Every structure is written in C-alpha cells, then in structure tokens.
C-alpha cells in the first residue's frame, strides 16, 4: 500500500454503499466567525502509511481550533492557508474507533478504541497519525476522552517540561477554569504542589472542585499585589504584563506562558511570549513559554492518570455535530467552564 491509499476497513453496521464513501462533516470555506461553519456531505478521507482512519464518536473544541476557524492571528495562516483553510474540516481532538490502518502502522488495528489528535475531527471519520494517538481508557466515555488531548498535553508540558514542577512548590494557575487550566490544576496537585487558581467569580466553585488549595477571583483580588509569591506560574489567560508576572514570582521562580488572546492581529499573544524569552537570560527568574504538541508518550501518561481517576475531564456542555456553530459561539463568548465536547 502506498501513501494516500486507503486500507481495508471494517464497514459500519447497516451502512449503505453511499455511506461508505461519503460522510457528514462540518466544513468552512473561509476564515471568520462561527457563521462560516456549515454541515456538508463530503468524501471520506484516505490514510497515509503512518496514519489510521478513525470513526469519530466524539470530538473536543479547543482554542487551537478556534484560531484555525477565525484565521487569527494572521501569522497562523502561513501554516494553515493564506486565503482559505487548506483543510476545510476543522477540529483536532478526537476519540473513536479505528476502522483502517496504514501499512506502516504497528500499534493499532481495526476495532481499537483510541483518543488523540486527528485532521478534521468535526466529522464522522478523521485521519490521525499513529504517533498522535493512544488507547482510550475503558473507564471513561468517548466524550470525556475527546476533550483531553490538546488541552491535557499542553497543561502537562507546561508543568512538567517547561515548569519543572516539584512537590511542595507553590503554583499559580492563571485561567484555571478553562480547558488547559482545568487540567493544569489537577496535574499540579498530582505532582504534590500547593495550587492557587485564578478565575472569574462565576467559576470559583469549579476550580475548587478540581482540587485547588486556594482560588482567586480576579475581579476582587490582584494575584500580583505582593501578598503571595509563587515558585511557578502557569499563565494560560488574562494577558498580564511580564512585570506583573515577575512581581508574583519568588526571586528564582519560573513563569510559563502558554496562552492569552490579546495582542496584535498579526502575531497575537506570541509577542509577549517572545519578549519573555528575550528577557529571561538577564534575570534570576526564569521566563519561558510552551506551545503544546501532542504525542503518544504524553497521551499514554494522561491515559494512566485518567484510569486511576487522578485526572477527570471537566465537561461543561456537549453538542451534537450539527450544532458545532453554536458550540463555537458559546466558546467564543468565554462562558465555558472547562471543556466542550461534540458528539458524532
């Protein structure tokens, strides 16, 4: 089998011949708001040698998908398409059943239940690289598994690889009620840290339920007012200035920036992250950044925590595939408490 050829797959029960070659999917033919998203019947994707075809049972909505839908910041279009998206089907997070495997795939076979990152997961079928999948834990639903990959891996990398979290450290999570933040709180607690989460008043109860030792309502208290200093700050939202982050750190503390939606239309929050990297060599504090990357090793680590119940996905709402535009509007309004799942 050569790259681009489709392997033999297990047919869907009751599927008609037409259903075997086409699928329902959400598509976008331009960048923009949720209004550019629509349901369509399109050809099923074909797999390369290192890919599998997944029958998607659930997909997650993450910030990266929002960026690709809107085409913002503009620099992102260099990778995803200058005028229109190269891939018309949005969606990254997925959980489902393998129906076909490429010739070079060794870790999965048809029938395996998996979760991870695919190409165009807002559809009945999506392709995914073998290296970006793991087996779904049996004790969690497809909906729960689907909202873990992008946000969970980003949180794990921010804390473990970039933040180098250790037991007993005081850790501050900015944006603790969001997708990445809801995992960061739980992962920091699992690492033995003393965790403070920052969020809005409406989401304080959620962050407490995730295990945070303390919760700051940002409308009432400034985390950088000097009353507390933290060994590690994971900045996922809020866009504080670097000087405010430094005021809240211990003299040799670390700040990891992995979010923020403000900034210019061309580079967005990346400008602040690059300034942090440029400043870090000249000060005692450590300022760094992380851009999440999803690989099987991290996904398998998260799967182990999910199996033990150490990590529990916080799902706010579940939408059917045809209501993806509504899900995107809800996400864009900043109302989500944790994650949003799409059932297919």
Q: How many CB atoms lie within 10 A of CB 272?
A: 20
What pLDDT score does 11 carry? 44
76 vs 125 pLDDT, higher one: 125
Mean pLDDT of 137-165: 97
Cis previous bond, 73, omega within 30: yes
Mean pLDDT of 308-332: 96
Residue 8 has pLDDT above 50, yes or no: no
Q: pLDDT tens digit string along 220-235?
A: 999 999 999 999 999 9
What pLDDT score does 70 carry? 79
Q: What are 307's two structure tokens? A: 């199996």
Q: pLDDT tens digit string along 117-134?
A: 999 999 999 999 999 999
DSSP classification of residue 240: -
Torsion of CA 262, 264, 268, 271, to 10 degrees: -100
Q: The whole model's pTM is what?
A: 0.89
Give the whole-number percent of the chain exceeding pLDDT 90: 75
Which helix (H) or strand (E) element contains residue 329?
A: helix 324-332
Helix, strand or coil, per DSSP, at residue 40: strand
Q: pLDDT tens digit string along 35-68?
A: 999 999 999 999 999 999 999 999 999 988 888 8
Range scoring the smallest mean pLDDT among 117-131, 187-201, 291-305, 315-329: 291-305
């Amino acid at each position: 089998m050569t790259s681009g050829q489709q392997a033999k797959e297990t047919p869907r029960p009751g599927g008609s011949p037409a259903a075997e070659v086409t699928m329902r999917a959400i598509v976008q033919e331009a960048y923009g708001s949720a209004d550019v998203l629509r349901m369509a019947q399109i050809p099923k994707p074909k797999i390369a040698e290192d890919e599998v075809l997944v029958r998607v049972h659930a997909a997650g909505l993450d910030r990266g998908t929002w960026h690709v839908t809107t085409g913002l910041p503009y620099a992102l279009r260099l990778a995803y398409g200058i005028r229109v998206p190269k891939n018309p089907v949005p969606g990254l997070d997925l959980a489902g059943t393998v129906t076909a495997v490429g010739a070079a795939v060794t870790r999965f076979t048809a029938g395996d239940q998996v979760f991870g990152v695919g190409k165009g997961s807002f559809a009945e079928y999506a392709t995914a690289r073998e290296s970006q999948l793991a087996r779904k834990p049996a004790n969690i639903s497809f909906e729960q598994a689907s909202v873990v990959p992008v946000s969970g891996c980003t949180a794990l990398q921010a804390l473990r690889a970039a933040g180098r979290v250790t037991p007993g450290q005081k850790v501050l999570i900015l944006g603790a009620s969001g997708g990445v933040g809801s995992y960061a709180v739980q992962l920091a607690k699992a690492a033995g840290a003393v965790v403070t989460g920052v969020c809005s008043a409406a989401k304080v109860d959620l962050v407490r339920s995730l295990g945070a030792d303390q919760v700051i309502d940002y409308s009432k208290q400034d985390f950088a007012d000097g009353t507390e200093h933290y060994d590690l700050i994971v900045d996922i939202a809020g866009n504080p200035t670097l000087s405010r982050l430094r005021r809240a750190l211990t003299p040799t503390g670390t700040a990891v920036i992995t979010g923020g939606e403000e900034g210019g239309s061309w580079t967005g929050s990346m400008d602040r992250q690059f300034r942090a990297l440029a400043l870090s060599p000249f000060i005692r504090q450590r300022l760094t950044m992380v851009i999440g990357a999803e690989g099987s090793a991290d996904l398998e680590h998260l799967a182990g925590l999910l199996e033990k119940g150490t990590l529990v996905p916080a799902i706010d709402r579940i939408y059917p595939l045809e209501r993806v535009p509504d899900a995107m509007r809800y996400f864009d309004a900043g109302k989500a408490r944790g994650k949003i799942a799409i059932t297919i």
